[in-house]
Structure 1
Amino acid sequence: MFAVMKTGGKQYKVASGDILRVEKLAADAGETVQFNDILMIGGTVGAPLVEGAGVQAEVIDQVKGVKTINYVRRRRKHSSKRTKGHRQQLTLIRVTELLESGADASGVKAAVGAGSVSASAVAAAAPAPKAAKPAKKAAPAAEAQAADATGTKPGNLLTEAREGGADDLKKISGVGPKLEGLLNSNGVFHFDQIAAWGPEEIVYMDDLLSFKGRIERDNWIAQATEFAAEKE
């Protein structure tokens, strides 16, 4: 028997025992996760999903894909040329069981992508929901969004630009006037601030500013490090 499941925006035809790489999941090696978006299993075709079906798999390791090289040339405004590499973060899994029914009551942790894990997705992936917290006093939109952000808040955020003025963050590929304004409003004014972010701080800024993986896709850290070095 085989199933067709969907994860990370892709579809996979799987059978018990198959080993495959999928978009990175929020799970550690040795954990068992369950994929609930099942398009087809056995002789049952979903409309669009098969209700109650699931695919369980064991996480073997967190790996990286083949390195790709991109050549970037910005002709007009900045007249810059650079090459940048990227290795997609993936999760290596082994399919252990195909469930034609009863997956919604299995109690196995749901497979959730790590690149854009929101607070609601983390709650949905947990085996049992946590008790609701007491209602908090209403906060401004930016503060409320920050309270829901995952990851770790960068410790180098500023209330205003340093002496000499803010850096032109639009030099970073993928940052336009709107994103620059969002970065400034959240305490980011200089290249060296971005260059110092670690993985958990990237997740926090992705979630806070709704970048959804853009920081890693456009390699902001390497670009910011290069521009910061040019200022020295």
Structure 2
Amino acid sequence: MTTNENTNENTNGIELAPNAALLVIDVQKGFDDASYWGPRNNPAAEANISALMDAWQESGRPVVLVQHASRPGSVLAADQPGYAFKDFVADRVGQESLLVTKTVNSSFYGTPDLAAWLTAQGIGQLVVSGIQTNMCVETTARMAGNLGYDVLVPLDATHTFDLAGPDGLGLTADQLAAATAVNLHGGHFARVVTTARLLAASGAPARVTA
């Protein structure tokens, strides 16, 4: 893997490589089914993902779309309407986008091979956004960190859902997102940042919903 050392330095402390790749993970219509998933957090996630996609395309940086094909019976199964990308993502698909299809949490276990594509493009810096914060986003970010990529995660360009655990234990979506931020930062897998900081680093206007 080769890291492009020509970076865009700025006053907010983030340096973005000209070929930093934006990963947009599993932003699919099936996640709008509240009866299936339960309560979610961060209603600004979609607006922030939109702003990042626009900034990346305006600056000529690569965008990688990841789509989850879940088990039969799931709202994300390939034969279900929920498998489709949300409209704001589908409307922004460009010729420069790579589409990765996966059946597990990590975007590095999909088709085509994400790591091979990144290596071929000389990309060493990744910005990881999408759904769910504590599932596919966190898993992909952890694996990317293990593989040696410079990983940034704009937590406000992700969202997740309340989740039940063993013996009556449960965490809210906000608690899970906070845990992801601590895991990624404390474990040195990634830098947790905001969409506004990334937009500033990219040179794009701060089109972000608080």
TM-score, normalised by the number of residues in structure 1: 0.22
Q: Which is richer in strand?
A: 1
> Greater relative contact order: 1 or 2 (C-alpha under 8 angstroms, separation 6 or more)?
2
Q: Which is richer in helix?
A: 2
